[in-house]
Amino acid sequence: MKVFKHDTWVKPYIKKYKGLLTSVLLLGLLTSFCAAALMFTSGYTIDKAATHPVNILLIYVPILLTRAFGIGRPTFKYIERLKSHNWVLKVTSNLRTRLYTTLESDASFFNEHHKAGDIMGLLSEDINHLQNLYLRTVFPTVIAYLLTLIGSLALGIYTPAFGIFVFLLLVIEVAVVPFVSVVIENNRKERQKQLKSSLYTKLTDNILGVDDWIISGRFKDFKNLSAKDVDELNASKDKSKSFKRNRDFILQLIFAAIAICFLIFTNLTMTDNQEQANFVAAVVLSLFPLSDTLIPVSQGFEEWPQYRDSIERLNKIQPVKNELPEQVDLMPNDFKSLDLNDVNFEYSSDSPILIKHFTQHIKKGEKLALLGPSGIGKTTILQLILGDLTPQTGDIKINDIDIQSIQKNRDKIFSVLNQKPFLFNTSVINNVRLGNENRSDSDVIEAIEKVGLKDLIESLPDKYNTNVGENGARFSGGEQERIALARILLQDAPIVLLDEPTVGLDPITENNLLNTFFDVLQDKTIIWVTHHLQGIKYVDHVVFMNDERIEMQGSPEELYKNNEHFQELYKMDQGL
Amino acid sequence: MIDKRLFRLPGTKQLLIVLAGLTLLQAFVVLFQGKYLAEALVNSWNQKALQTIILPMTLFAIAFILRHLLNLINNKIVENYASKTSEKIRSQLLDRVYEAGPSLLSEKGTGNIVTASLDGIDLIENYFKLIFTKLMNMTFIPPVLLIYIYTQNIASGITLTIIVPLVILFMIILGLAAQAKADAQYHQYTILSNHFLDALRGLPTLKMLGLSKRYAKNIYTVSDEYRRRTMNTLRIAILSTFALDWLTTLGIAILAVFLGLGLINNSLPLFPALVTLILAPEYFLPLRDFSSDYHATLDGKNALGSIFSILEKDDTKSEETDLKKLTWNEDSKLEVDNLIFNYADGQNNHDASLDIKQIQLNGYQRIGVIGKSGSGKTTLIRTLGGFLNPDKAEIKVNDQSINSLKQRTWQDELAFLPQSPYLFSGTIADNIAFYKPNATEKEIQYASEKAGLKDFMETLPEGYQTVIGEGGRGISGGQQQRIMIARAFLASDRHILIFDEPTAHLDIETEYALKKPMEELFKDHLVIFATHRLHWIKEMDYVIVMDSGKITEQGTPDELSNHNGAFNQLINNMRGDQL
């Protein structure tokens, strides 16, 4: 329960939409009540009828009630399910907005903290887990507890001792057994999770590495790779299953004990006269439908470890307070130069210094290419220029304004195009329009034409309304780059940062794409991170970085003439 | 509901027989449980003393316990069967992956296969449990109870008999209505439900475009729209459960009323009435249980179906003549004539099918394969590597004729260096020694020095024992390629090297640095090298130019560059404008 101590993702939301929440719990309770009452009135009807009352009207009321409860149970259950989903989905909308705004506040989140894996998928899955936490654990448990209390009280008013006794048995059923089983299963479940993730790694090794396995001829090793994990996982799961079977059996035994108590109790206390005895079957039979409410509590508890992880992960994400200096309005047209003066940067004090004494002066309209081995900090320089990262020493200025002072309207100054530009799962035209939402359809189409996609897109059945698919999958890598380029054209910022936009493309596609880039971005200032020398003639200035310093720089023509190493590289690149 | 292929799984028939026996037994125990409870209640109603109900009460308790004990045994048997069988399926799936290899993967997607072999298997296990237990319960328990109820009171028996088809009819009608409604909304629905994840993944982009702050409102609006639509669909979707609930509870209510009237009319005594009332919910229980897990059942059925489709996919295994023991040397020769390879429909390949007249590879030649993307380069080298089985081919290794290179003896001669090498989770030493797991530390060191890994290894505190791959230390593309080169150096008994764009994604200086060790590796090897990096072409003795799956030109680089053909055209396109 430590999990909830500092929780801000579950507790606060229980107070939301109180009316709806109360009605959900009430309806759940009513459903159980009707189920019990149906058997109660049915039992009474039969017992009473068996006394052959002279007047048929005497059983008319119980008959009517029987019908009412018979209809009431499914109806309440139906409404309860709808209302509970409605509540949960309302809360989900809030949770999603909150997760989004929290992540939005942390620009560096995407760069450093969470490089590994599909953290976004994980987080959005976590919110789905919270939905299930409410629907499958919280609601059923609260309803079962309310039922236990109310049922025991009702019996207690009649016979206090019996009420207390039944209450104790019910507590074992809905609280003791579930809690104990969570405690017992906790470690096992934890271990199973580890095994499962290790198994996932190994199966991935099997499947993604299958080429190497086949060539190596190591079939036995291939099969045995996951065998140990599988065996241990299955053994552990078997234990869990066996535990669960036994637990369910014990729950039934307790329920049987309660039933026997009811039989004895009714026989002892309700057989003084016929009128009382008519209620015997009613009381005993009303108990049985309640097992539907009481026994699943343990099942709900069992899912707890899964929810706990989600709650913990969500709570770890904290909004980041950006303390920006006073913001200055810089008109895009006023941009004159971008200066990096003796910039030094390290991610943290114990990691090596990544950027050392980096200085560049970039004038308006200038095109600069940045090269160097991977991991040398080329992308980091782009992030420093954007102001997402701040250098430890040195400064980065636009005109004479510190980069941190123009963050508010940064999108007016900078455009960015990545290696894998993100396209939203909507139409082409909507994706491009994101560059500037105020522009007309014809402006958007003009941009698409400029990047050379007009013919392709107009040949598609849905034309500009064609959906790009998840992550733009409908289009090839080069086409995705072009769509993103059209978006940037609409954005119309004076500085464009290109982060290896052509890596992974074949040279012909690459040539064509670079051609388009530098053609349509003619009047922009471009800082282009690239991995080889294809298209290097388009730039005014080339900077080669290595892990110590700037290794060489200058205009490509100059370097080719004067620098032997550059010449060698260029010749290799061009196959000369 | 049930996949017929299920019955072909080993042990299913025995399992069904055992389950049938147990469930039948359970049906009678349920019957006795109701009967003795009714007896005890009748005695209490007659205001008899506690002693008179002790016997029926005890028998009730025994029946109740026995029922759940049988349930426990039943579950145990099914769960054991399910975990054993699903494990067997997982193992078969891996066999398939190894056997059919990359062509299977490209067809189904690697992600799908990993998911199928992990989550899919869990779904299947669950499916076995549900389908066997719940179907058995539905088959045996209601009929036994119904027959008994007929013997007690015919009218009640008839009532209960009529309700079941009604329930099923309603469920089908409402189920179809819900399906229609869901289908109509499906497209919008998936977009809405994926919208949030899409927005999270696109958050950096939104930020760059200056839209991220405003977009938060959009998240709420779309999420709420999703809620509205979900509720609309849900209202109809859960109607079928409602109908089931409604008909069964109403059935009990009607039964109670009939029985009450019958009792007043003196047409039957209390016991049969009470026992009927007690057994009525038990009669409906299996049906309700079954329908509540219906969706889980469907998921499992789909998972099983997709795995079966992988397992059953027929292998185009032609009669293979086994290649005799082979050591490739400078006099060896591989001839391939009339090679036809077509990708199967739906196979998500980005490369052309092959139709090749003739190729000849000799001794320690270096053969470059070039062509624009999608020209069939990759398909060709994968066929030569024996990863793909050609539809038709006349292949001659030295003087032995075979019809496919998918042969152990052939692959024992190969080392393969792809564009993005796959590093296994394990130590660097394990990865280097992948073709030769018994290699000594010294051999590994020697090989990695030749591959130029020495400096890098010295920066690692744990050296060769550094764990890489998933969750391990990230390794740059250049070092990954060096590890692959070291692997090839170590496997000195493999004389054929196949490269697929090994340096295309590397930065130029890393590529430059890699040239030396790679040229060293080329020595005394047959090299088959697919590339679109121009400088490699100069290193080749012979070049094959591909277009649309056909060879448009082949010859030595000098020959080809001397006349204006496909080779020169391609080179010019790739090179672009120069400084």
What beta strand segments (E) does B234-328 contain? none
Confidence of residue B74 (pLDDT cuts 50, 70, 90): very high
Q: How far apart (Å, rounded) are the C-alpha atoms in residues A349 and B480?
A: 28
Least confident span in A81-95, A257-271, B186-200, B322-336: B186-200
The pLDDT score that the predictor gives to residue B258 is 85
Interface of A with B in 348-377 (CB under 8 A): 371-375
Nearest one of B306, B118, B428, B124 to A226, comparing CA atoms: B118
Q: In this model, does residue B381 exceed pLDDT 50?
A: yes
CB atoms A85 and B269 under 8 Å: no
**Between A575 and B396, the higher pLDDT residue:** B396
Minimum Cα–Cα distance from A268: chain B residue: B50
Any B CB within 8 A of A322 CB: no
B391 contacts B372 by C-beta, under 8 angstroms: no
Q: What integer is the mean pLDDT of B549-575?
A: 84
The pLDDT score that the predictor gives to residue A2 is 65
The enclosing H or E element of A514 equals helix A507-520
CB atoms A573 and B509 under 8 Å: no
Q: Which residue has the tokens 């009513």?
A: A30
Q: What integer is the mean pLDDT of A105-118?
A: 55
Residue ending a domain, among A258, A286, A316, is A316
Nearest one of A412, A532, A102 to B203, comparing CA atoms: A102
Q: How far apart (Å, rounded) are the C-alpha atoms in residues B562 and B568?
A: 8
Q: Between B270-292 and B239-264, two packed helices, what is the crossing angle to 10 degrees?
A: 180
A324 belongs to a structural domain: no
ipTM of model: 0.83
The pLDDT score that the predictor gives to residue B1 is 58
Nearest one of A569, A513, A508 to A544, comparing CA atoms: A569
Confidence of residue B290 (pLDDT cuts 50, 70, 90): confident
Q: How far apart (Å, rounded) are the C-alpha atoms in residues B515 and B503?
A: 9
Interface of A with B in 380-399 (CB under 8 A): none
Number of A to B CB contacts under 8 A, please give it: 422
The answer on A311 and A360 residing in a single domain is: no
pLDDT tens digit sequence for A379-397:
888 888 888 888 888 888 8
The answer on A195 and A72 residing in a single domain is: yes
CA dihedral B20, B25, B30, B35 (to 10 degrees): 140
Choose, out of B37, B124, B507, B536, the residue to mutate when testing the contact with A (most A CBs < 10 Å).
B507
SS3 content of chain A, % helix, strand, coil (to 5): 65, 10, 25
Any B CB within 8 A of A59 CB: yes
Residue ending a domain, among A316, A342, A366, is A316
Handedness of CA A512, A514, A517, A519 (dihedral sign): negative
The pLDDT score that the predictor gives to residue B315 is 55
A302 belongs to a structural domain: yes
Fold held by B364-387+405-575 = Rossmann fold (3.40.50)
The pLDDT score that the predictor gives to residue A116 is 45
- Which chain A residues touch B69 with a CB distance below 8 Å? 249
CB atoms A90 and B415 under 8 Å: no
Q: Between A18-50 and B270-292, two packed helices, what is the crossing angle to 10 degrees?
A: 150
A322 belongs to a structural domain: no
Q: In this model, does residue B82 exceed pLDDT 60?
A: yes
Q: How far apart (Å, rounded) are the C-alpha atoms in residues A545 and B537?
A: 28
Nearest one of B240, B244, B239 to B164, comparing CA atoms: B244
Least confident span in A112-126, A379-393, A402-416, B360-374: A112-126
- Which chain B residues touch A249 with a CB distance below 8 Å? 68-69, 71-72
Minimum Cα–Cα distance from A92: chain B residue: B223
Nearest one of B121, B432, B107, B79 to A199, comparing CA atoms: B121
The answer on A156 and A18 residing in a single domain is: yes
A327 belongs to a structural domain: no
Q: Which residues contact B566 (CB under 8 A, 6 or more apart)?
A: B545, B547, B552, B553
The pLDDT score that the predictor gives to residue B33 is 94
Any B CB within 8 A of A183 CB: no
Any B CB within 8 A of A422 CB: yes
3-state secondary structure of B245: helix
Tokens matching residue B311: 């397992």
In this structure, chain A runs to a length of 576
Nearest one of B331, B315, B388 to B364, comparing CA atoms: B331
Nearest one of B93, B578, B561, B554 to B307, comparing CA atoms: B93
Using alpha carbons, list the distances in angstroms from residue B33 to A259, B47, B60.
12, 21, 5
pLDDT tens digit sequence for B1-40:
566 777 777 788 888 899 999 999 999 999 999 999 999 9
pLDDT tens digit sequence for A82-106:
999 999 888 888 888 888 888 888 7
Enumerate the β-bridge partners of residue B499: B417, B529
Write b or e for each residue in B194-213: b if 16 or more Cβ atoms lie within 10 A of its Cβ, otherwise e.
ebbbbbbbbbbbbbbbbbbe
Nearest one of A43, A483, A522 to A278, comparing CA atoms: A43
Tell me how many domains chain A contains: 2
Using alpha carbons, list the distances in angstroms from residue B476 to A373, A376, A399, B426, B500.
9, 11, 37, 16, 18
The pLDDT score that the predictor gives to residue B471 is 47
How far does Cα B140 stand from its chain's mean position? 35
Most confident of A343-347, A544-548, B365-369: B365-369
Q: In this model, does residue A536 exceed pLDDT 70?
A: yes
The answer on A269 and A162 residing in a single domain is: yes
Residue ending a domain, among A316, A343, A364, is A316
Mean confidence (pLDDT) of chain A: 85
- Which chain A residues touch B46 with a CB distance below 8 Å? 277
Residue A495: give its domain's CATH number: 3.40.50.300
Least confident span in A73-82, A247-256, B348-357, B461-470: B348-357
Please tell me the distance in Å from A93's CA to the nearest CA on chain B: 5
The pLDDT score that the predictor gives to residue B275 is 92
Q: How far apart (Å, rounded) are the C-alpha atoms in residues A256 and A265?
A: 14
Q: How far apart (Å, rounded) are the C-alpha atoms in residues B74 and A322?
A: 60
Residue A170: give its domain's CATH number: 1.20.1560.10
Nearest one of B328, B466, B476 to B405, comparing CA atoms: B328
- Which chain B residues touch A127 with a CB distance below 8 Å? 196
Residue A171, Cβ neighbours under 10 Å: how many?
Answer: 15
Which of B226, B270, B578 is nearest residue A50 as measured by Cβ atoms?
A: B270
The pLDDT score that the predictor gives to residue A214 is 85
A16 contacts A254 by C-beta, under 8 angstroms: no
The pLDDT score that the predictor gives to residue A114 is 47
The pLDDT score that the predictor gives to residue B103 is 66
Please tell me the distance in Å from A447's CA to the nearest CA on chain B: 16
The answer on A252 and A223 residing in a single domain is: yes
The pLDDT score that the predictor gives to residue B505 is 79
The answer on A191 and A126 residing in a single domain is: yes
Q: How far apart (Å, rounded) are the C-alpha atoms in residues A542 and A539?
A: 7
A500 belongs to a structural domain: yes
The pLDDT score that the predictor gives to residue B230 is 83
The answer on A339 and A310 residing in a single domain is: no
Confidence of residue B99 (pLDDT cuts 50, 70, 90): confident
Minimum Cα–Cα distance from B37: chain A residue: A263
The enclosing H or E element of B339 equals strand B333-341
Q: In this model, does residue A345 exceed pLDDT 90?
A: no
Interface of A with B in 531-570 (CB under 8 A): 531-537, 544, 546, 556-557, 560, 568-570
3-state secondary structure of B552: strand
Q: How far apart (Å, rounded) are the C-alpha atoms in residues A470 and B278?
A: 55
The answer on A344 and A226 residing in a single domain is: no
Any A CB within 8 A of B88 CB: no
The pLDDT score that the predictor gives to residue B166 is 86
Domain containing A419 equals 332-574
Interface of B with A in 283-342 (CB under 8 A): none
A323 belongs to a structural domain: no
Query: Which phi-psi region, left, alpha or beta, contains residue B96 (left: φ > 0; alpha: ψ -120 to 50)?
Result: alpha
The answer on A570 and A436 residing in a single domain is: yes
- Which chain A residues touch B274 with a CB distance below 8 Å? 43, 46-47, 281
The answer on A364 and A249 residing in a single domain is: no
CB atoms B213 and A104 under 8 Å: yes
The pLDDT score that the predictor gives to residue B58 is 94
The pLDDT score that the predictor gives to residue B387 is 84
Q: How far apart (Å, rounded) are the C-alpha atoms in residues A556 and A541?
A: 7
Enumerate the β-bridge partners of residue A344: A393
pLDDT tens digit sequence for A498-518:
988 888 788 888 888 888 888
Confidence of residue B214 (pLDDT cuts 50, 70, 90): confident
The answer on A276 and A363 residing in a single domain is: no
- Which chain A residues touch B512 with a CB distance below 8 Å? 568-569, 572
Per-domain residue ranges of chain B: 1-151, 154-267, 364-387+405-575
- Which chain B residues touch A272 with a CB distance below 8 Å? 47
Interface of B with A in 349-368 (CB under 8 A): none
